[in-house]
A and B are shown apart, each in its own frame.
Chain A
Amino acid sequence: MHLLKLVFKNTFRHKLRTSLTILGVTVVILAFGLLRTVVSAWYAGVEASSASRLVTRNSISLVFSLPISYKEKIRQIPGVKLVSYGNWFGGVYIDEKNFFANFAVEPKSYLELYPEYILPPEQKAAFQRDRKAAVAGEKLATKYGWKIGDLITLKGTIFPGNWEFVLCGIYRGRDKSTDETQFFFHWNYLNEMMKVTAPRRADQTGFYLIGVDNPDLAYEVSVAVDTIFKNSLAETLTETEKAFQMGFVSMSEAIVVAIQMVSFVVIIIIMAVLANTMAMTARERIGEYAVFKTLGFGGWHIGALIFGESLCIAMMGCTIGILFTFPIARVFGSTMETYFPVFHVAMKTIYLDIAASLLVGAVAAIIPTWRAINVRIADGLRRIG
């Protein structure tokens, strides 16, 4: 207990040096936390995807569509519970820079397939009733100040023209990982317009979404789907939603790996910085440690003093860093909402922060402790004065 007090007193002997080192740890923990959060935000789509949902698309590429007639055939495959379908619409709201995901979907089956989108019953009913109805996630609605009943016009990029929608529902996410920045409307609305303006593109859908009875059968069902449409005009590729999302992420995997590496590199850097601080400190106090040893204190005591001080610095920096991580992540998340619809600091990141700081504190103390313990008392005493 007395030694603990000494550890604290020692820690703040060089106020400037200690403060700068704590600041360093703080910045590193902050950077580490934000980088980890970016990485998990990157995988948010994968994280949020369900193992009991499959995505079927044209085997050539996502750009090519599939006939709507496939729906009935897919429905009849054993193990299939529910089939929905939709198109990536790619509409722009007012200006190019207002980017968000928007889809044309079959409303009833889509909402059934995505129970994580929580919509009040009356909004759900209104959405299904009105052909021009659309639903937006709460974050998206807040961002643009939309209210129920608002008229929203999207400029089509893939499907030319100005498209008008009535906002009938605003959904909230069931989980933290649920994307609340999506926008979807009736596939029929799109299809009817296509029948008039571009009949060749009518009765086509970009993808099918399949709900299976049992996630364990997901693979069998996906093989069954692709087998049926083998050798047809539009062959299919069916995979789990997770694999599908992963496909998007893996295109940018190199960046994610780089970010991950940087997050570890900063930890190694602070390890070197703290080790240097501790080495300087311990060197200055070699004489004092010799006095302690002279008085009969053992290696354990010396070790406790040096490890204690090192851990004290690391954990103070860690605490401040964690405290700052949350508000900064919030600001960062809201400015980057377009790219990272889901951006929140995971508990796991905090645990990693703590583990990394403990590791940094301990590793930094090893060599100084070893030196302090092994210096002969007579040599240590000689360095005083």
Chain B
Amino acid sequence: MMGHKAPLVEIKNLSKSYRRGNQIVPVLEDITFDIEEGEFLALMGPSGSGKSTLLNLIAGIDKPDRGMIKVAGVDISRLSETELAQWRSANVGFVFQFYNLIPVLTAFGNVELPLLLTRLSRKERREHVKTALQMVNLSDRMDHYPGQLSGGQQQRVAIARAIITDPTLLVADEPTGDLDRVSAKEILELMGRLNAELGKTIIMVTHDPHAAEKARIIRHLEKGILNASAQARL
């Protein structure tokens, strides 16, 4: 064991509810847990249990009603919209179920997007994008548009876009939900490698037990309450 180190993500008494008409629907209730740096966490649970909501809160694209989310020492629940946007661009990489690539941009253009917010020169950006696409094994598809790529390939482009700024945290909401078995396996292996070789901390929401197997820790959400039976694996 190394010296005592604070966890990368600290979540304390987190609550979130949505308003539907004049009815308040609680989604997350009093959630507390930590995620260590370099972790690969799978978040499971039935549909509507609040997995996406929790992931969005950790990734800073939504705000909690109550509680605290600290990521690498920063309490992101206290940041303003603008600060939060900046924080996201520097610290979080996103992978979505439906890839969410920009259809009018090539694979290259899509991966380059997050770099447009940095001070990197055109040439530096080019280098970074090439490296990222190499990492997901798509160097030969750089100039293809999303419509010309298979689902698995699109998701790999999305992963390249998520890691291009070298974020500390990678969040993925059902990244294999829309893929066939073979492609899903590829994506999971890729994520496993990012975690093992590059030390990326990954939080992945999934329905698929096979997918969850790749993770080192699985947590279950049930009606907005985190199940205590956290399952640790090797």
Contact = CB atoms under 8 A, between A and B. Distances in A.
A277 to B, nearest CB: 17
Given A287-B100, A378-B61, A295 B86 contact: no
Contacts of B116: 2-3
Interface in B141-163: 161
Nearest to B173: A381
Contact of A293 (B85, B103, B112): B85
Contact of B62 (A298, A377, A384): A377
B86 A291 contact: no
Given A295-B89, A295-B114, A296-B114, A377 B61 contact: yes
A381 B88 CA distance: 16
A378 B62 contact: yes
Contacts of B89: 295-296
Interface residues of A, number: 22
A2 B88 CA distance: 21
Contact of A376 (B52, B62, B94, B105): B62
A97 interface: no
A376 to B, nearest CB: 7
A294 B61 contact: yes
Interface residues of B, number: 28
Nearest to A382: B52
A333 to B, nearest CB: 44
B98 A295 contact: no
Nearest to B55: A378
B82 A298 contact: yes
Contacts of B113: 292, 295
A288 B96 contact: no
Nearest to A295: B114
Contacts of A295: 88-89, 94, 113-114, 117, 161
Interface string A267-311: 000000000000000000001100111111110000000000000
Contacts of B2: none
A385 B178 CA distance: 10
A309 to B, nearest CB: 11
Contacts of B82: 298
B131 interface: no
Given A2-B116, A376-B62, A9 B94 contact: no
Contacts of B94: 294-295
A384 B85 contact: no
A384 B52 CA distance: 14
Interface string B69-104: 000000000000010011011100010111010111
A13 B103 CA distance: 9
A296 B88 contact: yes
B49 interface: no
B56 interface: yes
A376 B56 CA distance: 11
Given A296-B89, A378-B56, A385 B97 contact: yes
Contacts of A376: 62
A381 B117 contact: no
A295 B113 CA distance: 8
Nearest to B110: A291
Interface in A68-90: none
A6 B85 contact: no
B96 A384 contact: yes
Contacts of B105: 6, 9
Nearest to B161: A295
Given A2-B112, A294-B59, A377-B56, 18 more contacts: A13-B103, A287-B100, A291-B96, A291-B100, A292-B113, A294-B61, A294-B88, A295-B89, A295-B114, A295-B117, A296-B117, A297-B117, A298-B82, A376-B62, A378-B62, A381-B61, A381-B96, A384-B96
Interface of A: 2-3, 6, 9-10, 13, 287-288, 291-298, 376-378, 381, 384-385
Interface of B: 52-53, 56, 59, 61-62, 82, 85-86, 88-90, 94, 96-98, 100, 102-105, 112-114, 116-117, 161, 178
20 contacts: A2-B112, A2-B116, A3-B116, A9-B105, A13-B103, A292-B113, A293-B85, A294-B59, A295-B114, A295-B161, A296-B86, A296-B89, A297-B117, A298-B82, A298-B85, A377-B61, A377-B62, A381-B61, A381-B96, A385-B98
